[in-house]
A = this chain, B = another copy of it.
Amino acid sequence: MTLILALDFGGTKLAAAIVNVGSREWLGYERRLSPAKADASTDLEIMRSLIYSLLQGTKPAAIGVSFGGPVDATTGTVRLSHHVAGWENIPLKHLLEDEFGVSVGVDNDANVAALGEHRFGAGQGYDSLFYITVSTGVGGGWILNGKPWRGAGGMAGEIGHIVVDPAGPVCLCGKRGCVERLASGPYMAQNAREILENVDALAASRRVPPRHKERQGGEILRGLVGDDLTLLTGQLVSEAAAAGDDLAKEVLHKAAWALGVGIGNLANLMNPQRFVLGGGVTKAGEDFWQVLQQVARETALPEVDFEIVPAVLGDDAPLWGAVALTSI
């Protein structure tokens, strides 16, 4: 029996699993939420307990690690975490190699998930693909010639921060109309909230009845949060859109449009065979996928062929990718 140990430092959760080489079923699987005031030390301590609980004294042949933040994959050093303090320049690969005495591979979650889908999921048999996760953020990972393409400085795949609408709303990164600004869950919620607040402000300031047709929709969305707009989430926007709320549909279509333009531009630039899309927002329903597919097709040149398919590994993509990382 040759065991592989796969670790996922996910920012808000930690997961570990073991598998026999060649198998597609976990022999063991453990998962914990990060505590509210987690730092790198507590994350490592929790992960250590998961590992020892899984291994029970056996030794893995190799360890693969997915980390939710920028990583120097050549040295296996974490640059930082956007969610958890204290991860600046932590030599995670060396720490684990010293502790367990086996070879360790570390990469960021988007690259690792891309590798997971390529080896075990929706990308099997495709030598060139781009994996996109659309969730609290928007990120991506490349497979070219069957191998990860990480870029000269390990920064490739940042589809979340390409500009698709220079007249769009301002993103946290400072630019206008980034894909992430329009398509991430939290930003979709913010976009819906801002429209609803504007409608309220307009109604409050009006002295005479409106001459033009009112902006439609929003009632279902308001109902879902009992009129407390601070409770809005990307998922609720998707649910309201599926239930026929026009305002929620508008926000969701804009998200799908942004992703579609990004994917179409990428198809023209890199001409990969497949785009594999995972993350919560991509579960928003048929309408979302239909807009996304159509906009991507219209944005790409007619001669540029590609497919856009849903990811199949779900939350386990980073763990399966970590397994794949050990055999590169």
Contact = CB atoms under 8 A, between A and B. Distances in A.
Contacts of A304: 151, 153, 155, 158
A299 interface: yes
Contacts of A155: 268, 271, 301, 303-305
Contact of A158 (B142, B150, B166, B269): B269
Given A265-B162, A265-B163, A301-B158, A270 B270 contact: yes
A70 interface: yes
A6 interface: no
A151 B30 CA distance: 40
Interface of A is mostly: loop
User: How extensive is the interface on chain A, given as a class?
Assistant: 35 or more
A273 interface: yes
A278 interface: no
A258 to B, nearest CB: 10
Contacts of A17: none
Contacts of A61: none
Contacts of A301: 155, 158, 161, 173
Interface string A261-278: 100111011111100000
A165 B271 CA distance: 21
Interface string A162-191: 111111000001110000000000000000
Given A142-B270, A144-B144, A149-B270, 16 more contacts: A128-B151, A140-B269, A151-B271, A151-B304, A152-B306, A155-B305, A158-B269, A158-B301, A158-B304, A162-B265, A162-B299, A163-B164, A163-B264, A163-B299, A175-B299, A266-B269
Interface of A: 70, 127-128, 140, 142, 144-145, 149-159, 161-167, 173-175, 261, 264-266, 268-273, 298-299, 301, 303-306
